[in-house]
Amino acid sequence: MASLQLVVFDMAGTTVRDQHEVEACFAQAAAATGLRATAARILAAQGQAKRFVFEALWREQLGGGVRLSVLEAQVDESYHAFRRILEAYYRTAAVVPTAGCLELLAFLRGRGVRVALTTGFYRAVTDLLLHRLGWDAGLDTQYRGTAHSFIDLSVASDEVAAGRPAPLMIQKAMQVFGITDPQSVYNVGDTPSDLESGRRAGCARSLGVVNGTHTRQQLAACPNDGLFASLAELHQHLQAELVPA
Same structural domain, 79 and 107: no
pLDDT tens readout for residues 168-213: 999 999 999 999 999 999 999 999 999 999 999 999 999 999 999 8
Same structural domain, 148 and 75: no
Same structural domain, 59 and 103: no
- CATH at residue 219: 3.40.50.1000
pLDDT of residue 166: 96
Same structural domain, 106 and 220: yes
Same structural domain, 177 and 76: no
Same structural domain, 13 and 29: no
Query: Is residue 119 situated within a structural domain?
Result: yes
Domain end (from 31, 64, 91): 91
Query: Is residue 46 situated within a structural domain?
Result: yes
Structural domain harbouring 35: 21-91
Domain end (from 91, 109, 131): 91
Same structural domain, 168 and 195: yes
Q: How many domains does the chain have?
A: 2
Same structural domain, 115 and 188: yes
Using the predicted structure, report yes or no on whether residue 237 has a pLDDT greater than 80. Answer: yes
Q: What percent of the chain has pLDDT over 70?
A: 99
Domain end (from 91, 115, 147): 91
Q: Identify the band that residue 245 occupies on the pLDDT scale cut at 50, 70 and 90.
A: low
Spatial separation of the C-alpha atoms in residues 111 and 178, rounded to whole Å: 18
Query: Is residue 1 situated within a structural domain?
Result: no
pLDDT tens readout for residues 120-145: 999 999 999 999 999 999 999 999 99
Same structural domain, 68 and 48: yes
Output the pTM of the full model. 0.90
Using the predicted structure, report yes or no on whether residue 50 has a pLDDT greater than 90. Answer: no
